Structure 1
């Protein structure tokens, strides 16, 4: 069970990654997402964290590609309504996959003596995976909530399309145990 591997405490931070309006433009990202409930589950977890006075950190992606829905000049740059940061919740803006590169996220977590993270967001195989891997490599105990993140269909090197659910499950399998403990929203909120 979750308490054996990762010690969740009042000082366990919730890290919400790239839950932005631009990711609703599915065709730009390769097709259909696998988990349409990801944002609903992220909002439930966020409400729980806020209710319990636990630390919350938001990350958004600022694409350097002017055509991207996540470019800072586009409406898609905005974080979705259900998970928007409150005034006192830190918001970090990145322009690469990792939430730790080009931001002071790591220093802020260390300054607040945060040693464990719960991660939710988009997309499982890109920014979520990269950030989870780096969090673990930096020494943070990390929990990834499987049904509070999602992936899109992906084209393989030979042009084959891989279904979003397969992409999502493969990304989770690659992170499981080595980089993060994988749990569902229900397991986390028990």
Structure 2
């Protein structure tokens, strides 16, 4: 089932999400719904707070970035062909590498893109959909997508990483999003 995406201004996007247990009710359906919602919205990642659940789950599919690259924009990335997976109860173990800028966007903040500087690698401890424990290091564009989604679990948004002047320049657009004055190709739920 395709779920509505929570829009900028919704309080849940600013909450720190909580870990879950294998007994979390409806987990299999929730994960299936998250994947369907992510793909329907043309996203490469989706965090549970974006579908109004303050729990530590996100999905990532950076494989589609490489698969859909017709201009060779991903040639310099070391993480080809990308990664597709579910991250539950993720926690950062280490950040490493040279910070680099990339133009990011977010399903909860549609039609706004800004350059965000992030480290080139992240090591995470997490469990997958079967609650198998993992500690893995991700690099390149995959690390960036993971860090973007991880921020959602910490109550942060990509716009929190931009300079104050840039944030001031996009304030009117952010206000319009929070008021529902925007059209997108997917279902959104706006703050009341």
- Assess same fold via TM > 0.5: no
Q: TM-score under structure 2 normalisation?
A: 0.25
Which of the pair is proportionally richer in helix? 1
Q: TM-score under structure 1 normalisation?
A: 0.25
